[in-house]
Amino acid sequence: MAQELKVAARYMGPVTVLDLQGDVTMFAESELTRAYHQAIDNGAQALVLNFAGTDYINSAGIAIIISLLTEARAGAITLVICGLSAHYQKIFRMVGLTQYAEVYDSEDLAVQELKKRGIGESAPV
């Protein structure tokens, strides 16, 4: 019934895109934090959380995203969000998450914006 979250990482130089597939609930914590730390350990300066494969996010899942955002800010890592449905974009605005992480409609827009800031200019590895 619950769709277990799987996170796949795509490394694009200093930018890592984390593709989320499944439900973002309390059960997603270990998978999300594992993927986050692996990306940081591999040298990511910026992370794109791609929610295009997710159609259920609850308050426990939002709390996990807040925890990642807190950690990213402490480590001077840029974390942006893309692929949310219009409904979850609204939810993220409602709870105030968009004050701390920019939300883009698509991965392309997110990566373009990171490039404008000088992140992600290296060749893909």
Partner 1 sequence: MPTKRQLVELRIPSVFGYEKVAMATVTAVALRVGISGERIEDLRTAVAEACINAIEYGNGVGAEVPVVVTISTDARHLLIDVRDRALGNSKPQMGKMVDLQNPPTGPHGNMGLFLIQHLVDKVDIVCRANGTHVHMAMRLPDIVLH
By CB under 8 A, name the binding residues for partner 1.
Answer: 1-2, 25-27, 56, 58-60, 62-63, 66-67, 69-70, 73, 85-87, 90-91, 94-97, 99-100
For the bound state, the minimum distance from the C-beta of residue 45 to partner 1, rounded and expressed in Å, comes to 19
End-to-end CA distance of the chain: 37
CA distances from 95 to 17, 20, 31, 88 (A): 24, 21, 23, 10
- CA–CA distance, 44 with 54 (Å, rounded to integer): 23
For the bound state, the minimum distance from the C-beta of residue 71 to partner 1, rounded and expressed in Å, comes to 10
Cβ proximity to partner 1: between 87 and 117 the closer is 87
Cβ proximity to partner 1: between 2 and 8 the closer is 2
Cβ proximity to partner 1: between 8 and 63 the closer is 63
67, two tokens: 């925890």
- CA–CA distance, 80 with 113 (Å, rounded to integer): 10
DSSP 124: P
For the bound state, the minimum distance from the C-beta of residue 118 to partner 1, rounded and expressed in Å, comes to 24
